Chains A and B, each alone.
Chain A
Amino acid sequence: MSLFIIIIATVLVNNFVLSYFLGICPFLGVSGKASSAIGMGFAVTFVMTFTAAITWLIKYKILIPFHLPFLEYVSFILIIASLVQFVEMFLKKSVPGLYRALGIYLPLITTNCAILGMALLGSLRNYNFIENLVFGFGAGIGFTLALVIMAGIREELEFADVPKPLQGAGITLILAGLLALAFMGFSGMISGG
């Protein structure tokens, strides 16, 4: 499978948020403002890309040669947690505004199922190193895309006349459902992505 198809498949067809329904917590929590959505998206993309690279190395250079495939989950979580710590330190130092805007959602990337899901799916599909890297990057970009679209809609929504019982979480969930429906239009474009 060419790298281009992997990118298209992860960003559009099998978007992690809108078709796998992974990473819903930040998707609903940080999509209030476009600027913080972009920041969150890039933080996740960064973590995902590096997770993809390191988990591939761990799996094929440590776990498989030493016959320890059952340690996959544990070691992947360890990697993800460390990388999130690193991103947190990095943002605190260089982009303190974004650091404050993301608040609790930044450390929560650790428990973001999209990232562990990406690592495990990539491992399941037996990608080679470059493919896995592209897969991780594509998954992050797909996550960012979903977040930014959602943030754009929600910013417009500020001016809409939402019925009272639906205000807040209600309308957000309806929107997320509609958006997922829209993304279902891509399904079938690539088989087996």
Chain B
Amino acid sequence: MNTITISLIGMGAIGLAMALFLLIAYKKLKVHEDPRIDQIDEILPGANCGACGYPGCRHYAEAIIKENAPINLCTVGGPDVTDAIGKLLGIEAEAITPPVAVVMCQGDESVAPRRAKYHGASSCRIEHFTTNGDKFCTYGCIGLGDCVEACQFDAMYMGENGLPVIIEDKCTGCGLCAEACPRDIIEMVPRDQKLFVLCKNKDRGALARKYCKVACIACGICVKNAPEGTMEMKDNLAIILDYKPLNDPEVGNLLQEKCPTNTIVYRE
């Protein structure tokens, strides 16, 4: 017999022996678990993304049964999963609409000039912490795609202009990309929000304008034109306090038009 055959037989025998040993151990040591945990585990998407707050789908399934965790935490599965679990357990819960990720930066290469050329490891996080990015704007997108890499649902890609693009239909709202971004440029927003301030720059207006053509320069025109209490200026940046009144097409389009740097965008 040649060496290969002997190796195969030898390893096969060892493997078989261990398998038998484990099989016997499994029979003896089987733990009786609530069968519903398995059933819930099967309903859950199995992405183990952690959006529900538990380390994985299995842990969430256990938490539902043992700790009475709410059944609507899975944003990935959305209402379908919540319904299915609810049916299984005989309870009803209001399904939540998952949020959607939005890239709060429009500073592509044509509008946000670079101050240097970065040659380090291809990771936003590393570039951010070692060199603070290669653009003048130190709040904007670095463009190396840590977020795209973090996305488990193929809902993102790097656009040709060097900014990540989110495919909203595929976005499950798990928030992994927002976590991956070292500059917190990606935000999870409600799906029905239509008006966005697409900038994170907190520099003073003159500087911000120099660093990026579409930066918020903190002129305050939007705050003056928006319904009271819906927007305010904070740290040289316009922020939205209450998005619902701003969804009105008239208000939204007005604000978009008035913004001198096109930072404010109204999406129908």
Residues of A within 8 A of B (CB): 58, 62-63, 66-68, 71, 74-75, 78-79, 82, 85-86, 89-90, 92-93, 96, 103-104
**30 residue pairs from A and B, CB less than 8 Å apart:** A58-B14, A63-B10, A66-B10, A67-B3, A68-B3, A68-B6, A68-B10, A71-B7, A71-B10, A71-B11, A74-B11, A75-B10, A75-B14, A78-B11, A78-B14, A79-B14, A79-B18, A82-B18, A82-B22, A85-B22, A86-B21, A86-B22, A89-B22, A89-B25, A89-B26, A89-B29, A90-B25, A90-B29, A92-B31, A96-B31
Q: Measured between C-beta atoms, what is the minimum distance from A171 to chain B in Å? A: 19
State in angstroms the CA–CA spacing of A90 and B10 once bound together. 28
C-alpha gap A119/B10 in the complex (Å): 19
Q: Is the CB of B22 within 8 A of A92?
A: no
By a CB distance below 8 angstroms, the chain B residues around A62 are 10, 13-14
CA distance A86 to B7 in the complex (A): 25
Roughly how many angstroms separate A90 CA and B25 CA in the complex, as a whole number?
8
Given contacts A79-B18, A85-B25, A86-B25, 7 further A-B contacts (CB under 8 A): A62-B13, A66-B10, A71-B7, A71-B11, A78-B18, A86-B22, A93-B31
Q: Is B53 interfacial (CB 8 A cutoff)?
A: no
B contact residues vs A (CB 8 Å cutoff): 3, 6-7, 10-11, 13-15, 18-19, 21-22, 25-26, 29-31, 55
Shortest distance in angstroms between A28's beta carbon and chain B's nearest beta carbon?
Answer: 18
Residues of A within 8 A of B11 (CB): 71, 74-75, 78
B7: A residues at CB distance < 8 A: 68, 71
Q: How far is the CA of A30 from the CA of B205 in the complex (A)?
A: 49
Please indicate the chain A residues that have their CB under 8 angstroms from the CB of B25 in the complex: 85-86, 89-90
**Bound state CA distance, A89 and B22, in angstroms?**
9
Given A71-B7, A82-B22, verify A92-B29 contact (CB < 8 Å). Answer: yes
Q: Which of B3, B19, B25 has the most CB of A within 10 A?
A: B25
Question: What are the residues of chain B within 8 A of A86 when measuring CB–CB?
Answer: 21-22, 25
Chain B min CB distance to A46 (Å) = 13
Distance in Å from the Cβ of A65 to the closest Cβ of chain B?
10
The 7 closest A-B pairs by CB, nearest first: A82-B18, A93-B29, A89-B29, A86-B25, A93-B31, A92-B31, A66-B6
Chain B residue at smallest Cβ distance from A90? B29
Closest Cβ neighbor of A58 among chain B residues: B14
For A85, the chain B residues whose CB sits under 8 A away are: 22, 25
Closest-CB distance, A84 to chain B (whole angstroms): 10
A82 nearest CB neighbor, chain B only? B18
State how many angstroms separate the Cβ of A189 from the closest Cβ of chain B: 38
B268 CB to closest chain A CB, in angstroms? Answer: 45
Of A62, A74, A86, A103, most B-chain CB atoms within 10 Å: A86
**Measured between C-beta atoms, what is the minimum distance from A53 to chain B in Å?**
13
**C-alpha spacing A92/B30, complex, angstroms:** 9
A62 to B10, CA, bound (A): 8
- Docked Cα-Cα span, A89 to B13, in Å, equals 23
Q: Is the CB of A78 within 8 A of B15?
A: yes
CB distance from A74 to the nearest CB of B (A): 7
Distance of A103 Cα from B54 Cα, bound (Å): 12
Q: How far is the CA of A90 from the CA of B24 in the complex (A)?
A: 12
With both beta carbons as reference points, the residue of chain B lying nearest to A74 in the complex is identified as B11
Complex-state Cα separation, A58 to B14, whole angstroms: 8
Query: How far, in whole Å, are A13 and B14 apart by their CA atoms in the complex?
Result: 34
Query: In the complex, what residues of B have CB within 8 A of residue A74's CB?
Result: 11
A79 CA to B21 CA, complexed, in Å: 11
- Min C-beta distance of B217 to chain A, whole Å: 34
Q: What residues of A have a CB within 8 angstroms of the CB of B6 in the complex?
A: 66-68
**Within 8 Å CB of B29, what residues of A?**
89-90, 92-93
Chain B residues in 8 Å Cβ range of A71: 7, 10-11
Q: How far is the CA of A79 from the CA of B29 in the complex (A)?
A: 19
In the complex, what residue of chain B is closest to A94 when comparing beta carbons?
B29
